Amino acid sequence: MERSLRRKSVRLIAAVSRGGGIGKNGKLPWNLPSEFQYFLKKVTSVSRPGKMNLMVWGKLCWYSNSTSLFLLPNILHVVLSKTMSTAPDHAHFVREDFDSAVRMAAEPPLADLIETIWVVGGTQVYRDALQHPWCDLLYLTDVMADFDCDVFFPEFDQELFKLQDKFPGVPSEIQEECGIKYKFQVFKRETADGV
């Protein structure tokens, strides 16, 4: 990427069941309201009023979610699609690929507004983000149960992204909700490009 770009943190966030499952038939296969509140708190947090985060969605992931998720404070939404020419309802932008979405956030006029780029799926968008040199943190909730899934979080290099024992603002205890145990985890990139 060109020197004129203002580097942004690229962060992935997902809840992942045993076997790597993240969805089934366009829905989450579990109902964990407190885990979802954690997700919302992470993606909407900014350092000060007037700042925003960019949430990056694959097209299928966007259309599989409820419109209430699109009306979040401090969030601008970009949907990735090679076929759409205009942003879908409630989205702010459409871009052809992940790199162009990152570039948009790192260049004027958004460079001064956007703090963090949050990647919320699906699988190919996660895969592209994992390869990006600005990807520094993975917020993965380990859902400690088996679920029938048809969408999966991609495998990633756990020598490059190391599981953190403790991480600020992330509970380290095992949680339980609706009879399902889960644990919040953060994987941090050990070597960052151009830091």
State how beta strands 21-23 and 151-152 pair: antiparallel
In the annotation, is 35 catalytic? yes
Interior/surface letters 39-51, b for 16+ CB within 10 angstroms, e for the rest: beebbeebeeeee
The two structure tokens encoding residue 97: 């690929």
Catalytic residue among 28, 54, 80, 110: 28
Whole-number Å distance between alpha carbons of 149 and 18: 10
Catalytic residue among 12, 32, 35, 80: 35
Cβ proximity of 150 and 176 under 8 Å: no
In the annotation, is 32 catalytic? no
List, by residue number, the catalytic residues.
28, 35
